[in-house]
Amino acid sequence: MKISVIQMRVRRTKEESIREVARKGRKATRLGADVVVLPEMFSCPYETSNFPVYAEGADGETVKRLSEIAGENRIYLIGGSIPERDENGNLYNTSFVFDREGKLLTRHRKVHLFDIAIQGGQSFKESDTLSPGSSATVFPTEFGPMGLCICFDIRFPELFREMEERGALAVFCPAAFNRTTGPRHWELLFRARAVDYQLFTIGAAPAADEGAPYISYGHSIIVSPWGEVLSQAGEEECILMKDLDFSEVEAVRRQIPLSPPVW
């Protein structure tokens, strides 16, 4: 499976961001991508005050356009995340996934909200405006089952355990770490989860924008089941391309069996 991770800045308007996704999606398709992955909050400046302003329902314009991009390019599209408003007015940080025909395969609502206060560093509280999701997410593809989480979810191994037990061969993680936690924990967490559960981990981050109130660390990443970093970006806009061979998952799990013993 050839994946394409799009690291891009959030544009001035939602429409400009979506147009950029369409442009980069076409480029990734020309390069042979089967799966295209977008960053967390790819079309919404990452501030709690913006989430209600940019929020849409699952039948909104952004989901419709992402579906069209997937279908037109015949790709699986993991739509980063957007602020989603449900029928009761609750807001979620949600990733929508589409198949090669543009059909909605699944959505993941971020389970673990980013509520942190680093002494002398970053503070953020998603729960000021967002509600948490409540389940792990695994979706089918022609290559096998794939897992999906969002950003802060990667710090919680039990979520990955459930995805692994449901057959996930890789876990995609749209994420926006910052320059406080990013240098310390970004690569470490993606490598740790890959080794813990013997699967590929893929992080898709926004590119850094020096003019934004929340500056993404960038460094989109692809890690093998051995914990090897196969590809990693810097902070700039770019597209990471990589072929994933899922026989490597089987090989690692056979050579280093980690299934819980029966006592």
40 is catalytic: yes
93: Cα separation from own chain's centroid: 11
Residue tagged active-site, from 20, 84, 110, 173: 110
110 is catalytic: yes
Nearest CA to 220 out of 195, 187, 192 is that of 187
Residue tagged active-site, from 44, 149, 151, 173: 151
Alpha carbon distance 122, 240 (integer Å): 27
Angle between the N-to-C axes of helices 61-73 and 14-30, in degrees from 0 to 180, rounded to the nearest 10: 10
Q: Cα separations (Å) of 181 from 62, 106, 166, 193?
A: 29, 29, 30, 17
Max distance between CA atoms of the chain, in angstroms, equals 58
Would you give the DSSP letter of residue 99?
-
Burial of 11 (0-12, 13-18, 19+ CB in 10 A): middle
Residue tagged active-site, from 20, 40, 84, 235: 40
Would you give the DSSP letter of residue 86?
-
Q: Cα separations (Å) of 111 from 24, 118, 135, 229, 241?
A: 29, 21, 7, 26, 28
Catalytic residues: 40, 110, 151
